[in-house]
Amino acid sequence: MKKILIVVNIPKFFASHWLRNALIAKQAGYEVHVASSDGNEVAQIEASGLIHHKLPLERSGRNPFKEIQTFLSLLKVVKRVKPDLLHLITIKPVIYGCLVAYLTKTKAILCAITGLGYVFINSNKNTFLKSMVKNLYKTALMHKNLTAVFENETDRDTFVEEDIIAKDKTIIIHGAGVDLSEFNFVPEPEGQIKVVFAARLLKDKGAFEFVAAAQQISATHEAQFIIVGDIDPDNPASLTQGDIATISRNKHISFLGFRSDVASIFADCHIVVLPSYREGLPKVLIEAAACGRAIVTTDVPGCKHVILANETGLLVTVRDSKSLADAIIQLIDNTELRQRFGAAGRQLAEHKYCESIISATYISCYRKLLSSV
């Protein structure tokens, strides 16, 4: 039985985005191991029948001694597991995992570049850090039997144009997929219009633009604005508890915090909004489309690749709360347009983002890489 070791930063991200794909790989006959930092979701991963290995991995940590410890811990895990293929997800697992693969002579690597992240989005703030990360990526991705998965064409083109990886070693896979039976199509509810922002509470996700737009709209329209998500202390762009306290004082905005029942929240709303500065492929928008909800998002890589502009949702100018407010108002005022966008979004999810389609593509990647071993 071939062994696959999936390395990801935190178990929460694995459980929400990758668990079902891993279980499908297990059903396909692979022995699947997962390595990540510790967390509440480890028990869920192990209960599902996967083998978990804990790593002292900090997503945003820059302490060189702790980073060396993380690298050595991953090296130890790989030596113990002896995987036939490493599936590396997000920046540190990709860079560290590829370097470990050289040392252990692991013969097949699948790297998931799930977005360019804080370093690239804020490259004007630290060009040295961006240059260092680019060089680390370039070194890591030189393995001869490696495929890099990108979630949108713009991110892939960035890596190719900056000579980080050759195009023939890349593939586009549209996210981790969505369970269409969990996120099923539900007609809009009756009553007051509800507009939902569901994401990690980061400046880069457009959280402040959403709040500003809600304030502008509330001056002329009756609508309820709902924020679903939590702060991310490991991310430099995270909102603070003080920011949350300030937002919560706004009578037009309801703050729900982290919720695991996103499907039911979407079922009870009318519009889903993500004014992000850049994404890989935001799963929240795929889930919203699957539920048949009209979308408002920014005209940036990742976000613009999820929707069909003016067919499943509206694109707005990034970092512009006025543009965001105008688009939301357009949907508040036009029930027929909202519902037409929602129905088209469901069709898009069924044909492009269905979990079984995405999982089959990943299994195909595994088989192709392992056939070269």
**How far is Cα 223 from Cα 140, in angstroms, rounded to an integer?**
49
CA distances from 196 to 211, 264, 294 (A): 11, 12, 11
Return the percentage of the chain with pLDDT > 90, whole number.
86
Distance of CA 345 to the CA centre of its chain: 19
Closest alpha carbon to 167 in 155, 179, 184, 182:
155
Choose between 30 and 248: higher pLDDT.
Answer: 30
For 322-341, the pLDDT digits (tens) are 999 999 999 999 999 999 99
- How confident is the model at residue 119, as a pLDDT? 56
* Average model confidence (pLDDT) across the chain: 94
Among 70-84, 118-132, 245-259, 342-356, name the one with the lowest average pLDDT. 118-132
Please name the fold of domain 193-353. Rossmann fold (3.40.50)
Confidence of residue 131 (pLDDT cuts 50, 70, 90): confident
Beta bridge partners of 171: 149
For 293-315, the pLDDT digits (tens) are 999 999 999 999 999 999 999 99
Choose between 117 and 248: higher pLDDT.
Answer: 248
Instruction: Show Cβ contacts of residue 79 under 8 Å, excluding neighbours closer than 6 positions.
Output: 104
Mean pLDDT of 13-28: 95
For 167-202, the pLDDT digits (tens) are 999 999 999 899 999 999 999 999 999 999 999 999
Confidence of residue 121 (pLDDT cuts 50, 70, 90): low
The answer to whether the 3-177+355-371 and 193-353 domains have the same CATH topology is yes
- How confident is the model at residue 116, as a pLDDT? 65
Rounded to the nearest 5°, which phi and psi values hold at 54? -85, 135
For 231-290, the pLDDT digits (tens) are 988 888 899 999 999 999 999 999 999 999 999 999 999 999 999 999 989 999 999 999
Give domain limits for the chain.
Answer: 3-177+355-371, 193-353
Sign of the torsion angle spanned by Cα atoms 249, 253, 254, 257: negative
Please name the fold of domain 3-177+355-371. Rossmann fold (3.40.50)
In this structure, the number of other CB atoms found within 10 A of the CB of residue 241 comes to 9
Mean pLDDT of 4-33: 96
Q: In the numeric block, which tokens belong to residue 364?
A: 């195909």
- How confident is the model at residue 323, as a pLDDT? 98
